[in-house]
């Protein structure tokens, strides 16, 4: 197990290095530095403030979904948990991701890991749904210039499959618990699956779900504006509706953990998509690095919170 984890980590590090090399191989590094230096501080400050707004919206959505499970946690505590989760996502190259940490934090209050995890599942689904809708809106407005639009359709199809699986699992696996007498290894796994799907069946309050979906749309729009302001800070002037496609697709790709914290993947994704609208490679990399640096700054705050809390 230890060898497997070490090998996985080494593989990710190697891939990150190769991807970074691939992104930088054909661009003058001084052009990237020049682009970074030319960034307008005020607009970078606005982008940084939007991250804080995003944490607040995320915490509010999380609180609404937790209430559906009869779990009550203050908004401030949830913001802190989000920041700690961000620290684990961005600074610890381990299998312990932010969602795992947040699930554990809530389980200490709710005394139930399946219920905590069920909330994270619904939270993720609402976020992906909002991203896909914005991507389709961008395609409708004028996405033909970007190309690779098949990614939007593939993502939409994958989401429908996942959502269908969750709904069917809730209806079937979440109703009948596995037998207490059976296979020593499989039965505990079946019981955990049952408890998660059973917890999902608690989400019957349509008002709470609709509120969560609405906040997911507000949150993802906030994310899109965040990248748009960074582009403006770099003196770029792309049409806003292209970001409705670029940002959702980029975030879907970021979900695949093939490198350390998305290093290398992030740069190449922005180069690929922004080149379609005639944005130079140096500017695309600068946008990528500024956005990542701002996220890391908030993740460091999460690390400080984690260090001082009990």
Tell me the domain boundaries of the chain: 2-21+39-308
DSSP letter for each residue of 135-181: HHHHHHHH-TTT--THHHHHHHHHHHHHHHHHHHHHHHTTTSPPPSS
279 pLDDT exceeds 80?
yes
Q: In the structure encoding, which two tokens stand for residue 145, read together?
A: 């210039």
The 10s digit of each residue's pLDDT in 164-186 is 555 555 555 545 555 555 544 44
Residues 141, 143, 144, 145: is their CA dihedral positive or negative?
positive
pLDDT at 244: 84
Of all residues in the chain, the percent with pLDDT exceeding 70 is 75
Question: In the chain, which ranges are continuous DSSP H helix?
Answer: 2-24, 29-37, 41-68, 75-91, 98-110, 113-142, 150-172, 186-200, 206-233, 240-254, 265-274, 281-308
pLDDT at res. 161: 65
Angle (nearest 5°) at CA 48 between 42 and 54: 140
Indicate the pLDDT class of residue 53, thresholds 50, 70 and 90: very high
Question: What is the mean predicted confidence (pLDDT) over 254-272?
Answer: 82
pTM of the model as a whole: 0.82
Q: What percent of the chain has pLDDT over 90?
A: 27
Q: What is the mean pLDDT of the chain?
A: 79
Give residue 95's pLDDT band: very low, low, confident or very high (50, 70, 90): very low
CA 283 distance to own-chain centroid: 23
Q: Identify whether the C-beta of residue 259 lies closer than 8 Å to the C-beta of residue 12.
A: yes
Q: Please, how many CA atoms are within 13 Å of residue 3, restricted to the half-sphere of its CB?
A: 0
Q: Which of the four pLDDT bands, split at 50, 70 and 90, describes residue 187?
A: low
CA dist., res. 214 & res. 220, Å (int): 10
Q: Check residue 292 and give its pLDDT.
A: 93
What DSSP assignment string belongs to 216-237? HHHHHHHHHHHHHHHHHHTT--
pLDDT in tens, 211-237: 888 998 999 999 999 999 999 999 998
CA distances from 97 to 88, 102, 150, 180 (A): 6, 9, 29, 31
């Amino acid at each position: 197990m230890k060898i497997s984890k070490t090998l996985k980590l080494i593989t990710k590090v190697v891939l990150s290095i190769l991807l970074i090399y691939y992104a930088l191989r054909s661009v003058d590094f001084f052009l990237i530095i020049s682009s970074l230096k030319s960034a307008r501080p005020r607009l970078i400050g606005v982008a940084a403030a939007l991250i804080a707004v995003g944490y607040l919206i995320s915490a509010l959505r999380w609180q609404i979904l937790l209430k559906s499970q009869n779990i009550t946690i203050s908004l401030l505590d949830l913001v802190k948990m989000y920041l700690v989760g961000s620290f684990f996502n961005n600074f610890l190259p381990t299998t312990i991701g932010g969602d795992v940490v947040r699930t554990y934090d809530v389980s200490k209050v709710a005394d139930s890991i399946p219920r905590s995890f069920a909330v994270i599942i619904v939270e993720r689904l609402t976020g992906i749904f909002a991203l896909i809708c914005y991507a389709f809106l961008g395609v409708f407005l004028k996405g033909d210039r970007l190309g690779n639009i098949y990614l939007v359709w593939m993502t939409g199809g994958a989401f429908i499959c996942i959502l269908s699986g969750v709904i069917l699992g809730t209806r079937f696996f979440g109703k009948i618990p596995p037998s207490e007498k059976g296979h020593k290894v499989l039965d505990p796994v079946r019981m955990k699956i049952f408890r998660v799907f059973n917890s999902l069946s608690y989400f019957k309050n349509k008002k709470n779900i609709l509120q969560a979906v609405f906040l997911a749309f507000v949150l993802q729009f906030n994310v899109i504006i965040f990248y748009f302001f960074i582009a403006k800070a770099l003196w770029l002037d792309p049409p806003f509706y292209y970001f409705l496609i670029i940002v959702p697709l980029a975030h879907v790709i970021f979900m695949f953990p093939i490198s350390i914290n998305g290093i290398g993947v992030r740069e190449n994704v922005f180069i690929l998509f922004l080149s379609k609208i005639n944005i130079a490679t140096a500017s695309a990399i600068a946008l990528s690095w500024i956005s990542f640096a701002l996220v890391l700054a908030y993740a460091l705050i999460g690390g400080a919170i984690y260090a001082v809390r009990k």
